[in-house]
Chains A and B, each alone.
Chain A
Amino acid sequence: QQQVKQSPQSLIVQKGGISIINCAYENTAFDYFPWYQQFPGKGPALLIAIRPDVSEKKEGRFTISFNKSAKQFSLHIMDSQPGDSATYFCAARNPSGSRLTFGEGTQLTVNP
């Protein structure tokens, strides 16, 4: 019940295209859903996050869509750039706040 399932495992898009990464969860008590971006040799960095009382959040080219009834959320990267090439992780936080449960990651490659 603590799992977060992420897809696809890898994604290749052309520069200027839209990248879409999906996550699904089981635990309806999760109260915070962040997305992290990780470059090789670096720790993950928070990209954008959403709470379950909001259906969409946009920050620049990055948008989270949240579907509470389906227990799914997704990251959309508009106008994808080669510099966006990285591994993206979705996560969900349990109500006590003691941990983030991470998806397995999506390796995004944006071709020039």
Chain B
Amino acid sequence: GAGVSQSPSNKVTEKGKDVELRCDPISGHTALYWYRQRLGQGLEFLIYFQGNSAPDKSGLPSDRFSAERTGESVSTLTIQRTQQEDSAVYLCASSLAWETEAFFGQGTRLTVV
């Protein structure tokens, strides 16, 4: 595709439910990142995938958060048993390689009620 695509663009969920967020990176991009952006704040690193290497999961805030990526394609970020503090915009980015420019998607706005 032309850019990084994320779905859904908005998600409202009840506290305690699981949610799955999807990211379609730019075709051919080997690196993929997930970030969280709380209202009025900077971007908080969550997880990084590079090709077939083991992902860097060091930014995941708790074991309720997990992410998968198959090869160099789609990634899903799963949040189990959502809490109100999980409400944020979840941004995905991809880059051709780790040392090149990262392109961001428009994000998924998650609201936990």
Contacts and interface: CB of A to CB of B under 8 A. Distances in A.
Interface of A: 6, 32, 34, 36, 41-46, 49, 89, 91, 96-105
A95 B35 CA distance: 18
A102 B98 contact: no
A34 to B, nearest CB: 8
B54 to A, nearest CB: 11
Interface string B51-78: 0000010010000000000000000000
Interface residues of B, number: 25
Given A43-B4, A89-B42, A100 B102 contact: yes
Contacts of A45: 103-104
Contact of B98 (A6, A34, A42, A97): A97
A99 B59 contact: yes
Contacts of B56: 96, 98-99
A49 B106 CA distance: 21
Contacts, number: 55
Interface of B: 4, 31, 33, 35, 40-45, 48, 50, 56, 59, 91, 93, 98-99, 101-107
Most chain B CB neighbours (cut-off 10 Å) among A36, A44, A89: A44
B19 to A, nearest CB: 19
Contacts of A100: 33, 43, 45, 102
A10 to B, nearest CB: 10
Contacts of B31: 97
A101 B48 CA distance: 13
B93 A99 contact: no
Given A98-B50, A98-B56, A43 B42 contact: no
